Structure 1
Amino acid sequence: MKRKLIAAVGVAAMIAGVAACGSDGGGASAKDPKDRDETLTVWLMNDAESTWPELVKDVNKQFKKKYPKVEVKVQFQQWGDKTKKLDAALGGDKFPDVVELGNTETMTYILNGALAEIDPEKYENSDSWIQGLKDTCTYEEKQYCVPYYAGARVAVHNKEMFKKATGSEDVPETEEKLTSALDKLQQEYGSDKAFSPLYLPGMYWYAAMSYVHAYGGTIADYNEDTKEFKGALSKPESVKGLKHFMKLVNKYNHADRTKDELDHANVMANEKAAMIYGNSWEAGSVVEGESGNPKLKDKVGTAVMPGPGGKPLPSFIGGSDLGIVEKSEVQDLAEDWVSMYTSADSMKVLATKKILPNNTAQLEPLKKDPETEAAAKAVPHAWFTPIAPGWTAVEKQNVLTNMLVSMVKGESVEAAAKKADKKIDELINNEA
């Protein structure tokens, strides 16, 4: 299956663009770096602006030293409208040369031809990039983006509540002991009907699929013979995981079970939950920020989430990648900037911010840091959504969340999973 060109770019325009890029890019790259005078536009998400602005500043300074006449425009984007803005930009003539993409977004832009192929050898630590992130950049054995940082979900808990109810502020290492602790938390705080020992929303599909994977199930399987994906949620292993998830939701979540997880840090900040299953950085959100509760400072901890069978719960691997736009006429400059921004020194800066770096070598020390231990240990064994051409459509049409809501409302797991598989089969093999 070949990558499509973005819809707004006609074949003739693309040929002209490639020819122009080839001549301009070749001529430009032949110049002395100090004579380059183009503009490089970089789109980063607002996390970089708010949490590690010094890294952006230092890399730009490093880049400016090599290319003193090149203007670097770093434009910070919001997750809510980035995709819409990017699609419009790619269809016009004012687009970024480098763009940060959430790792669930990359496949769409790889398949529609928006991202240029990259050579991993040009980037430091590429031999130890976290496999789950590298996979999100790979299609047909070629790579189209550079891993930026990783994320994983962990148990975020109120240590004070756990201590009062169970005698220990720690999350137990096995699920059997965890559910016992949750029962004690219910006894201690259950007079508040809005309190949930474990706030696990019914629409939280990342959590649901973690339980699916814990039992050996998958969202969809790939058939090497047909070269197609097929929905696998109604398989016995997946059904076991979905039933396990729904059991936890129904027993321990006493709030609206038809919601998603977007406000679960706020629920915990309001002391209406003793525990959530969230991104490691959400422990900070419980305490800090506009909706945080500063009274919980030093009372919120993270731990590996216990899963079925005495093993940790497999986590979805989150994070971001950096892509170089195929239409860019300064791809060599873009490569150099991304190389500097994802170097070992740059990853060291992210690690000081408790952000997981893009490679296993620099991830290792974070497994010994209490603040990052749980997430760092979860990353190497994490799972990811199917690397399929139609996965974006599956997400956009809310196939998984619709299935989960049906289960919460009383439909059998088996019936709801079969319907979801049917819808997945309609969408997952079709390029957007």
Structure 2
Amino acid sequence: MALAAGLTACSSSGSPSGDGRSAAADPKAATGTVTVWLMDDAQKNWPDLVQRVNDEFAAKYPKVTLKLAYQGWADKVTKLDKAIAEGSAPDVVELGNTETMKYVLSGALAPVDRTTFENAGSWIKALANTCTYQDKLWCVPYYAGSRVAIYNSTAFQQATGNPEFPKTEPELLAALDKIADKNKADRTFSPLYLPGPYWYAAMSYVAASGGSIAKFDSAGNWHGTLHDPKSQEGIGHFADLVRRYNKGDLTVNEQNQYEAMARGHAASFYGNGYEAAGVTAPVTGDASLKDVVKVATMPGPDGKPLPTFIGGSDLAVTAKSPSVALATDWVRMFTSTKSEQALADKDILPNNLTQLNQLKNKPSTAAAANAVPDAWFTPLAPGWGAVEKQKIIPDMLTAILKGKSVDQATKEADAAIDQLINKAS
């Protein structure tokens, strides 16, 4: 593949110590250049952390040149692919955790030693899994993200007498039923707006039921497991919730679900924390809801918070960087306990459970933090990209909501997954 060929970093140095081999022995004598690509989230939200780490790196390696460039999510992958193809890739690159497998499979990333990073023993498992392939670690968890319940506290207050979001699913269902009854004159009003093809939500219920999308077997192959009893249980539960509480078009996906609440058609929905801001945005939403819309932990059917799809970012060192050791040490500094605490202090979920714990009781972060420990991620399989592209799971959910049995729909979905999941896409 083109990505695997000719990967030469733009930080090439003529110095024999440019690869950092002498860095550990004599950091003061190490020379070379380390180029880092970070997403512009860091520039906007934690520039002080970036500056501190860069200063720390410069103090340890005074003869090494550090070059930092900020990237935007819209065009980062295109730019990175082009840089790799042209032999001008950065030494360190931030990757969204759904992007990592593409670069692992193409040979674009260098393996790293987990034992050399602080808090590695308590890294959030699902986040660390996004960096792991064939028992090797190919990147380092940076920070996490999760989905939460987003709700109109006034709607809950008026129907139940309590503006708080219920903490258990039985309590939530009882509250949703009361909200449905209070708003029964409005046939477009959804107590819980849960889009039918919303597979991230559906698979959260699968995870809560002990099921999974696919598993890696002893023969070295992935195979779909949506037809397994526990997976079917979760899918059935999700479908029941959709039918019971979503009064909108059940075939519409979740991309603009915030609009249902912004337009007064929903009391709650399940989404990324930032979607709450969409509800109250002055132009696209309803600014009058600013003090009404809240976030909370979404309760699952097993008495625990609903497991969330783990979002977030990872940091990787490119495979043919001439400064691998130096680049890895920069990543080590940027993901240290001190650095992760700087993120936690800004309400960003850190990469490890130890520091995440302090955010579980903080009002601004409790909902997201409590959803993380049991988080799940998509199968780290060669053909997963093709499975997503073919929309196998959303189509399965739509078929179920149109009347196909869970048993038949999941059997067909597994067969379709099996055709694609083991082939590199």
Alignment of 1:203-218 (within 5 A): 203-218=197-212
Q: Partner residue of 1:416?
A: 409
TM (norm. structure 2) is 0.89
Alignment of 1:147-186 (within 5 A): 147-186=141-180
Please identify, of 346-355 and 184-193, the stretch whose mean Cα deviation from structure 2 is larger. 184-193
Q: Partner residue of 2:269?
A: 276
TM (norm. structure 1) is 0.88
Question: Residues 81 and 420 (structure 1 numbering): CA distance in 2 closer, same or farther, change over 3 Å?
Answer: farther
SS of the equivalent of 2:372 reads helix
Question: Residues 37 and 287 (structure 1 numbering): CA distance in 2 closer, same or farther, change over 3 Å?
Answer: farther
Counterparts of 1:81 and 1:420, CA distance in 2: 32
Q: Partner residue of 2:377?
A: 384
Residues 244-279 of structure 1: CA distance to partner in whole angstroms, max 9, x if unpaired? 111211221122322222222343333332111122
SS of the equivalent of 2:144 reads strand
Counterparts of 1:261 and 1:285, CA distance in 2: 13
Shift of residue 27, structure 1, vs aligned partner: 4.8
Residues 285-342 of structure 1: CA distance to partner in whole angstroms, max 9, x if unpaired? 4335863543223322222212224443222222211111112222223212212221
Alpha-carbon contact 1:316-1:383 (below 8 Å) kept = yes
Q: What residue ranges of structure 1 are gaps of 5+ in the alignment?
A: 1-5
Q: Partner residue of 1:75?
A: 70
Residues 176-222 of structure 1: CA distance to partner in whole angstroms, max 9, x if unpaired? 22122112212333444432211111121110011122222211122
Paired positions, count: 420
Shift of residue 346, structure 1, vs aligned partner: 1.7
Residues 99-130 of structure 1: CA distance to partner in whole angstroms, max 9, x if unpaired? 22222222222122111011223322222211
User: Which residue identity lines up with residue 379 of structure 1 in the other structure?
Assistant: V
User: Which residue identity lines up with residue 405 of structure 1 in the other structure?
Assistant: T
Counterparts of 1:153 and 1:362, CA distance in 2: 19
Question: Residues 363 and 237 (structure 1 numbering): CA distance in 2 closer, same or farther, change over 3 Å?
Answer: same
The one of 220, 232, 246 equivalent to 1:227 is: 220
Question: Residues 54 and 193 (structure 1 numbering): CA distance in 2 closer, same or farther, change over 3 Å?
Answer: farther
- The structure carrying a bigger helix percent of its residues is 1
Please identify, of 82-91 and 210-219, the stretch whose mean Cα deviation from structure 2 is larger. 82-91
Q: Partner residue of 1:407?
A: 400
Question: Residues 170 and 58 (structure 1 numbering): CA distance in 2 closer, same or farther, change over 3 Å?
Answer: same
Q: Partner residue of 1:319?
A: 312
User: Which residue identity lines up with residue 75 of structure 1 in the other structure?
Assistant: Y
The one of 354, 358, 362 equivalent to 1:361 is: 354
Alpha-carbon contact 1:154-1:277 (below 8 Å) kept = yes
Question: Residues 22 and 123 (structure 1 numbering): CA distance in 2 closer, same or farther, change over 3 Å?
Answer: farther
SS of the equivalent of 1:133 reads helix
Q: Partner residue of 2:92?
A: 98
Counterparts of 1:351 and 1:294, CA distance in 2: 28
Counterparts of 2:174 and 2:65, CA distance in 1: 61
Alignment of 1:125-140 (within 5 A): 125-140=119-134
Q: Does 1:428 align with 2:389?
A: no
Counterparts of 1:237 and 1:256, CA distance in 2: 28
Counterparts of 2:71 and 2:3, CA distance in 1: 24
User: Which residue identity lines up with residue 7 of structure 1 in the other structure?
Assistant: A
Alpha-carbon contact 1:8-1:92 (below 8 Å) kept = no
Alpha-carbon contact 1:42-1:72 (below 8 Å) kept = yes
Shift of residue 152, structure 1, vs aligned partner: 2.0
Residues 381-404 of structure 1: CA distance to partner in whole angstroms, max 9, x if unpaired? 222222222222212222212222
Q: Does 1:49 align with 2:47?
A: no
Counterparts of 1:83 and 1:391, CA distance in 2: 18
Shift of residue 132, structure 1, vs aligned partner: 1.6
User: Which residue identity lines up with residue 195 of structure 1 in the other structure?
Assistant: F
Counterparts of 1:24 and 1:202, CA distance in 2: 58
Counterparts of 1:387 and 1:327, CA distance in 2: 23
Alignment of 1:202-351 (within 5 A): 202-224=196-218, 226-287=219-280, 291-351=284-344
Question: Residues 255 and 48 (structure 1 numbering): CA distance in 2 closer, same or farther, change over 3 Å?
Answer: farther
Q: Partner residue of 1:124?
A: 118
Question: Residues 177 and 45 (structure 1 numbering): CA distance in 2 closer, same or farther, change over 3 Å?
Answer: same
The one of 178, 185, 196 equivalent to 2:190 is: 196
Please identify, of 402-411 and 159-168, the stretch whose mean Cα deviation from structure 2 is larger. 402-411
Alpha-carbon contact 1:316-1:384 (below 8 Å) kept = yes
Please identify, of 204-213 and 98-107, the stretch whose mean Cα deviation from structure 2 is larger. 98-107
SS of the equivalent of 2:316 reads strand
Counterparts of 1:25 and 1:316, CA distance in 2: 44
Alpha-carbon contact 1:305-1:312 (below 8 Å) kept = yes
Q: What residue ranges of structure 2 are gaps of 5+ in the alignment?
A: none
SS of the equivalent of 1:424 reads helix
Tell me how large the CA RMSD over aligned residues is: 2.7
